[in-house]
Each structure stands twice: as structure tokens, then as C-alpha cells.
Amino acid sequence: MQKPSPTLSPLASAPFTLDQVKAAGLQHAKVRKRASVEGVSQGIYRPADWKFDLASAARALSAASPGAWISHVTAARLHGLYLPSWLADSNELHLSKPRKLPSVRRRGVIGHTVLVHDSEIEFTQAMWMSTRSRTWLDLARRLPLNDLVCIGDQLIRVPRPQLEGRDAPFTTIEALRTMVEGHKNLQGVTRAREALELMRVGADSAPESLLRLAMLDAGIAEPELQVQLRVNDPFSPSADLGFRERRLAIQYDGGHHLEEEQVHSDRRRNKAFVSAGWTVLIFGKDDLADGFNKATREIKRALRSAWLDPSVASGFVSAR
């Protein structure tokens, strides 16, 4: 009876390396001849019918590149970091190496040779990858300042344990500043320093960060973030941004705010502010697309009204 030949399973669902072929008890030469297998680059193969998946491609690339790590845009996507719309769906594969190793020369891979400290690389999602903080710094060379601030705000925000399963931010401004000062010659470091001065704890989303930055660009005083209607009350409704002295609450309602349960919650939140004599301004995706130009004009008008006569200014205003 003829002994059955080994199959590619479980290598038939994602890219794989030569080492994985050997570990599966298969012969390299025979695998290469299979019609169901295609060579990607040196030491990396994929099933012929494989549909591209960034995480799988990055894992195979990491496994085939000792001493290197997934970085830049690829790491940002895999970490779930904010990216502007022109990069949010990018399938770029970025691989970084320390300067002591030869530069990356793989088809379809964007290589980087950089100075890195051990604390800036981690093994996660079954691959070596730059940490969130180091990824932020790497992107400083490529991203506009406001987008870099958005990622920074995401990294330093205080999470909600019941929703996110963690109770500490990914990092702090102080830790990021220390890392930046350890890479004074890195391209983009000047922009990273500028971003550090604009980052604030309290933004729950990139649009909230962009709204705050648009307000500053428009000459509006810096708002308070996560403004509680009742100070130091954990059950108090809160506004994304606002000015307590002017009793002005500002909300950015994203896509999830269109869900029925969230709509009712938002209405109760806004009604509580209005009942307490606050003006509530609500902005959404159309305002984001407009660069918050109309929004900042609305905010300026509301602030002027509150300055002239707070009793007249209070009320509900929807700027959607």
C-alpha cells in the first residue's frame, strides 16, 4: 500500500515560510512544484487561491525575516491605530531592520533601516512588531501634524475598563517625550515634538481631536475635554468638549450614535445639559468632511452669546 504524501494543511489558508514547510514534514522541492502554491519572495509561499489578508501576510514576512519587525503603516493598522482616510485601508507591508543588518530587499515590501531600542519592539499577534508608541514616532515622518496628534491622543486616553478590558492608557505624554528625545536624529522627530505639545488626555475619537485642533486654529480658547455636568460625579452625563464657565457643551456624534439605543442615550444626555441651562452644540461626519469650518463659526457665535448674556444663551442648538 502506497503511503499517502503529507498535505499542506494547515499551511493551505495563509502565507507560510520554508521553516513552516519543514516543520510540517514536507519537502521544500515538492511544495514548490505544487500548482496550488505560489512563491511570494525568498522563503515565503502562499496558496494560489489565497485572498490577501494583512495580518497573515505580515506574520509570514516577520517569520521569514529574523531580526526584523513589522512597522510603520502596517503596524499601525494591526495595532488598530487611527490613520487618515488615504491610509486607513492601506495594504502596504513595512518591515524595519536595525542598522547592523542588511537592508530589506523583498518584492512588495517597503524596507526601513533604523535605530531602535529593545523596549520599542514587541512580539504580539504571533509576529515581531513595533510597539504602538514607536509606531507613532515612525509615522511622524509621513503624516500631517493633526493626524499625528490624533494617534497620540488615542495612545494617552484613559480607557473605560468595562468596555475595553484595560484600565491604563497605552502610554503617557511623558513616556512619549522620553522616547522622542532618544531619537534626536530620526526623520520626523521635529513634527513628533510639535504633536506632543498639542496632545491632550480626554479625546475619545480622532474626530474629537480634529475638532479641538480646528477650534485652536480658528482662534478659539482651548476647551475642556470630557466635561461632566456634575463635577466628580461618576454617573454624571458628560460632553466631549466644552466651556464650563460659558455653560457650552459640544458633542461629536459619530456613526455609532445613529443606533437606536445610542440615540436615546444621547437625547437624555443632551436634555440633562439643557435642563441645567447649558447650550449644546452637536456636530457629525458632515462637519468633519468640512474640516469643522462651519462648526467653529457656530462655536464662536455660541461663546459670544454666552459672554453677553448667559441666561439668553442657554438652550439646545443642533449644528448637524
Taking only the tens place, the pLDDT of each residue in 274-313 is 999 999 999 999 999 999 999 999 999 999 987 665 554 4
What sign results for the dihedral spanned by CA atoms 304, 305, 310, 315? negative
In terms of pLDDT, which residue wins out, 209 or 260? Answer: 209
Edge-to-edge strands, sheet with 224-228: 224-228, 238-243, 248-252, 279-283, 315-318
What pLDDT score was predicted for residue 11?
Answer: 60
Q: Is residue 169 exposed (0-12), middle (13-18) or buried (19+ Cβ within 10 Å)?
A: middle
What pLDDT score was predicted for residue 51?
Answer: 86
- Which of 240, 248, 247, 161 has its CA nearest to residue 207? 240
The confidence band for 257, taking pLDDT boundaries of 50, 70 and 90, is very low
**Do residues 107 and 74 touch, judged by C-beta distance below 8 A?**
no
**Do residues 81 and 132 touch, judged by C-beta distance below 8 A?**
yes
What sign results for the dihedral spanned by CA atoms 47, 53, 54, 55? negative
Does residue 258 register a pLDDT over 70?
no
> How is the chain split into domains, by residue range?
11-51, 54-201, 202-320
Highest mean pLDDT among 38-42, 57-61, 100-104, 196-200: 196-200
What pLDDT score was predicted for residue 110?
Answer: 96
Does residue 63 register a pLDDT over 70?
yes
What tens digit of pLDDT does each residue of 39-60 get? 677 777 777 777 889 999 999 9
Q: What HEC string does the chain produce?
A: CCCCCCCCCCHHHCCEEHHHHHHCCCCHHHHHHCCCEEEEECCEEEECCCCCCHHHHHHHHHHCCCCCEECHHHHHHHHCCCCCCCCCCCCCCEEEEECCCCCCCCCCCEEEEECCCHHHEEEECCEEEECHHHHHHHHCCCCCHHHHHHHHHHHHCCCCHHHHCCCCCCCCHHHHHHHHHCCCCCCCHHHHHHHHHHCCCCCCCHHHHHHHHHHHHCCCCCCEEEEECCCCCCCCCEEEEEECCCCEEEEECCHHHHCHHHHHHHHHHHHHHHHCCCEEEEECHHHHHCCCHHHHHHHHHHHHHHHHCHHHHCEEEECC
- Which of 188, 91, 115 has its CA nearest to residue 147? 188
* Lowest mean pLDDT across 94-108, 238-252, 253-267: 253-267
Query: Distance (Å, rounded) from C-alpha 148 to C-alpha 191?
Result: 8
Q: What are phi and psi of 82, to 5 degrees?
A: -65, 140
What tens digit of pLDDT does each residue of 14-30 get? 777 766 766 655 555 55
What pLDDT score was predicted for residue 116?
Answer: 95
End-to-end Cα, the chain, rounded Å: 75
In terms of pLDDT, which residue wins out, 23 or 239? Answer: 239
* Lowest mean pLDDT across 137-141, 196-200, 301-305: 301-305
Residue type present at position 182:
G
What pLDDT score was predicted for residue 162?
Answer: 87
In terms of pLDDT, which residue wins out, 251 or 43? Answer: 251
Q: What is the mean pLDDT of residues 62-77?
A: 96
What pLDDT score was predicted for residue 107?
Answer: 86
Does residue 182 register a pLDDT over 90?
yes
What pLDDT score was predicted for residue 203?
Answer: 96
What pLDDT score was predicted for residue 47?
Answer: 75
Q: Architecture of domain 202-320 in CATH?
A: 3-Layer(aba) Sandwich (3.40)
Query: Distance (Å, rounded) from C-alpha 254 to C-alpha 6?
Result: 51
Query: Distance (Å, rounded) from C-alpha 274 to C-alpha 187?
Result: 48
Does residue 114 register a pLDDT over 60?
yes
In terms of pLDDT, which residue wins out, 13 or 111? Answer: 111
Average pLDDT, the chain: 87
Query: Distance (Å, rounded) from C-alpha 84 to C-alpha 139?
Result: 12
What tens digit of pLDDT does each residue of 202-227 get? 999 999 999 999 999 999 999 999 99
Q: What is the mean pLDDT of residues 68-74?
A: 98
Question: Cα torsion at 72, 74, 79, 81 (round to 10°)?
Answer: 70
